Amino acid sequence: MDLATLQALNAARTSRRAAAVFTDLETDQSVLCVEGERCADEWIDAMTAALRSGKPGMIMAGGRSLFLNVYLPPPRILVVGAVHISQALARMAAVAGFDLTILDPRTAFATAERFSGVELIADWPEDVLKVRPLDRFTALVAVTHDPKIDDEPIRAALAAGCFYVGALGSRKTHASRVERLRRLGLSDEAIARVRAPIGLDIGATSPAEIAVAILAEIIEALRRRDILSGSEEPR
Amino acid sequence: MQASTDTLDPLAVAEAWVCEGRQVAIATVIETWGSAPRPVGSHLVIDGAGNFEGSVSGGCVEGAVIGEAADILETGKAKILEFGVADETAWRVGLSCGGRIRVLVERVDG
């Protein structure tokens, strides 16, 4: 691999874009394809398949034996709401290997003291998402209980194809949320992707237990779904 | 977003090393059979002094890969190494988990 390819690959990874590298094992020539950038016609099909499956491996193309490596952005969690559940979730997510960021415009909640060591942004989600857009490799967890804060990031997460969108609230609360999301112009199919009540049904009661249920549900969404196409894999 | 800081990223390390003027080889697991400790696509990067970052096995064959890398850094010719229980050398260097792996080792050319 030449340095320019390595640098371009690292730049794509840093900016959270999926990338694939084809290496011809005869000549040791490498070709890089980055999601959202132009890619030579001969590579498009293999690139699409690789990004969909996320699986690297040997492929045959044009009678040549190639190694295809796939680089998907690491999954991250964006939590809307600097609440008690988020305090527990932030600690557990770090152990499970997820990057996590918390957004909450309510400065009384979003204090460094309550969230030591966690990336915390005390601002409105719509302002933050303008400069830090959501992507398919992000899980959105909305837990403020306040439609003024939760609804817009939920809408944005569904539009961006986030691999997980969960929202706190009872079935009744969610029913009124569904109505509001419809008024925002979302299809029923998109709205059905919102996990609510949030978290796997393990009878969780305390904030920490609910955080376990949410994290487990995020892991399930990540591992059982094709995070690029959004289609459910057979169980 | 915060970068995960619990492990260094081998490809970022490789780029930093090359930019410091060090010679660098990248080893990549390209195929596995049976029980292999690191999945296809895993990287180990090695410099001319034998410093390394990342892994292609659970520590079983890294020593042998690093040894080969010295050669590859010199000649610039990529090589595919194979380790497995059927291979006496590999057994000696210890891929005792019962699997087989193929590793591509290539030099980063500036």
pLDDT of residue A130: 94
For residue B31, give the chain A residue with the closest CA.
Answer: A57
pLDDT of residue A174: 96
User: Are the CB atoms for B24 and B107 separated by under 8 Å?
Assistant: yes
More confident residue, B106 or B88: B106
Distance (Å, rounded) from C-alpha A189 to C-alpha A60?
A: 38
Across residues A219-227, what is the average pLDDT? Answer: 75
Across residues A102-126, what is the average pLDDT? Answer: 95
pLDDT of residue A227: 47
> How many angstroms separate the CA of residue A7 from the nearest CA in chain B?
7
For residue A15, give the chain B residue with the closest CA.
Answer: B1
Cβ atoms within 10 Å of B41's Cβ, excluding its own: 18
DSSP state of B98: S
More confident residue, A91 or B83: A91
Distance (Å, rounded) from C-alpha A89 to C-alpha A71?
A: 27
More confident residue, A119 or B86: A119
* pLDDT at B100 exceeding the cut of 70: yes
Residue B3 with chain A: CB contacts under 8 Å: 99
* pLDDT at A108 exceeding the cut of 80: yes
Across residues A32-56, what is the average pLDDT? Answer: 81
Residue B15 with chain A: CB contacts under 8 Å: 3, 6-7, 10
Cα distances (Å, whole numbers) of residue A224 to A72, A221, A232, B20, B86: 16, 6, 7, 42, 35
pLDDT of residue B37: 81
pLDDT of residue B8: 78
pLDDT digits (tens, 9 = 90+) for B3-44: 444 457 899 999 999 999 999 999 999 999 887 788 999 999
Cβ atoms within 10 Å of A84's Cβ, excluding its own: 16
Taking the model in full, what pTM does it have? 0.72
Residue A43 pLDDT level (bands cut at 50, 70, 90): confident
CB crowding A157-180: b at 16 or more within 10 Å, else e? bbebbbbbbbbbbeeeebeebbee
Asked if A11 is an interface residue toward chain B (Cβ–Cβ < 8 A), one would say no
Distance (Å, rounded) from C-alpha B10 to C-alpha A206?
A: 40
Residue A230 pLDDT level (bands cut at 50, 70, 90): very low
Q: Phi first, then psi: what are they for A218, rounded to 5°?
A: -65, -45
Distance (Å, rounded) from C-alpha B104 to C-alpha B110?
A: 19
Contact yes or no for A1 and B15 at CB 8 A:
no
